[in-house]
Amino acid sequence: MQFETLKWVGGIDGFLELTDQRRLPGVYEKLNCQTPEQLFEAIVTLAVRGAPAIGVSAAYGVCIAGRQLSQDISLTDALVELKKAIDYLASSRPTAVNLFWALERMQQKMTVFAGDCPDGSVDMLRQILLDEAHAICAEDQAMCQAIGQHGMPLIPEGGAVLTHCNAGALATAGIGTALAPMYAAHEAGRRFTVYVDETRPLLQGARLTAWELTQAGIDAVLICDNMAASLMSAGKIDAVITGADRIVANGDTANKIGTQGVSILAKHFNVPFYIAAPSSTFDLSIETGKQIPIEERSANEVKTIEKVSIAPEGVDVYNPAFDVTDAGDITAIITEKGVIDQLEADQIRHFLE
């Protein structure tokens, strides 16, 4: 990759550097987050987005909170302040489970340190937290690579793959989830085409996925969301691969709005439909997709494009950011541990152990 989605700069007094995805593809610009409030804003406004990238960023967000602690604060008070920061960052977005997974890991690291080193210094705690955030980042990068290798056989030579939204390097700390098999196949010399749904209302496919793939030299064809059925009916799509924001115990999967419709089309036209996601995206505490909290976002995202109005003033808007794809419409889930092709609760739990 010729860009880094996120990077920690410096030591315990450092900051988080993000690629500002609100500006792409027209402007490639970095955004420096030096306070939890700045990171919160970056997550809410989608300067950083994608479940794994949000999780890694949130882990570094705890480190950002650590740099704000006063020099003379006690360890007990520092733990209280950091817990406030964790709760604050957890309230930024409700659907992607990687956010909560990463923050829980940071919380556990704090708890263990407090128990093992009650007389430890605040700087020691800050270093341990930074080490943990670095570990979460490195694990995400490794998981992306593994997903790419496990999913590469599903990319047909000379064929075509459809993807929805952005689940590439911009959505992770590594090479991506849904796009990882494509990057791996391209690196291996395989020839194929990727059809990219534009992904309304925020055009993550048009702005981000198409940009990523063309940067990598992969043959990408941008389509409107309502063109997928036409392509499938004409036999032009060999497989669909998307990412995920939360996968529950029975295999139901929350992903960017519109994914559910694509999965139904794929099943109707006998096109394999794959989800690619790391184990950190699974939430086995939830039994079915009906229990997944779905974020609803601003009406302006639907009524405007690049701040230009495309709808009449005062019209009502419904704008859920995600929908839930039924496990029965998913052919398999590609993870860093391999491919899960039996989407039943017992098999999923056993596979992830």
What is the per-residue DSSP string for 183-226?
Answer: HHHHHTT---EEEEE--TTTTHIIIIIHHHHHHHT-EEEEE-GG
pLDDT tier, 116 (very low <50, low <70, confident <90, very high otherwise):
confident
- Tell me the pLDDT tens digit for each residue of 250-284: 999 999 999 999 999 999 999 999 999 999 999 99
The alpha carbon torsion through 106, 111, 116, 122 (nearest 10 deg) reads 70
Residue 295 contacts by C-beta under 8 Å, 6 or more apart in sequence? 93, 94, 95, 320, 321, 322
Q: How many angstroms separate the CA atoms of 353 and 336, rounded?
A: 13
Which pLDDT value is given to residue 75? Answer: 94
List for the chain the helix, strand, coil content (%; round to 5): 45, 20, 35
Residue 81 reports pLDDT greater than 80: yes
Assigned token pair, 308: 């230009």
Residue 110 reports pLDDT greater than 70: yes
Mean of all residue pLDDT scores within the chain? 96
Which pLDDT value is given to residue 1? Answer: 62
* Residue carrying structure tokens 């740099």: 67
What does the DSSP 8-state code read for residue 168?
B
Which pLDDT value is given to residue 120? Answer: 84
Mean pLDDT of 317-337: 98
Burial 147-173 (b: 16+ CB within 10 A, else e): bbebbbebbeeeebbbbbbbbbbbbbb
pLDDT tier, 117 (very low <50, low <70, confident <90, very high otherwise):
confident
Pinpoint the alpha helices (H) of the chain.
36-44, 51-67, 75-90, 97-116, 122-151, 180-187, 204, 210-216, 228-233, 259-268, 300-303, 345-352
Q: How many angstroms separate the CA atoms of 43 and 163, rounded?
A: 23
Counting every residue written for the chain, the total comes to: 353
Q: Which residues does the annotation mark as catalytic? A: 245
Higher-scoring residue by pLDDT: 71, 259: 259
Q: Which of 177, 270, 206 lies closest to 232 in space, CA to CA?
A: 270
Which pLDDT value is given to residue 306? Answer: 84
Residue 60 reports pLDDT greater than 80: yes
Decide the pairing of beta strands 282-283 and 246-248: parallel
All domains of the chain in start order, with CATH: 6-146 (1.20.120.420), 152-352 (3.40.50.10470)
Which pLDDT value is given to residue 274? Answer: 98
> 347 in helix, strand or coil?
helix
pLDDT tier, 85 (very low <50, low <70, confident <90, very high otherwise):
very high
Q: How many angstroms separate the CA atoms of 50 and 210, rounded?
A: 16
Mean pLDDT of 225-238: 98
Mean pLDDT of 34-57: 97
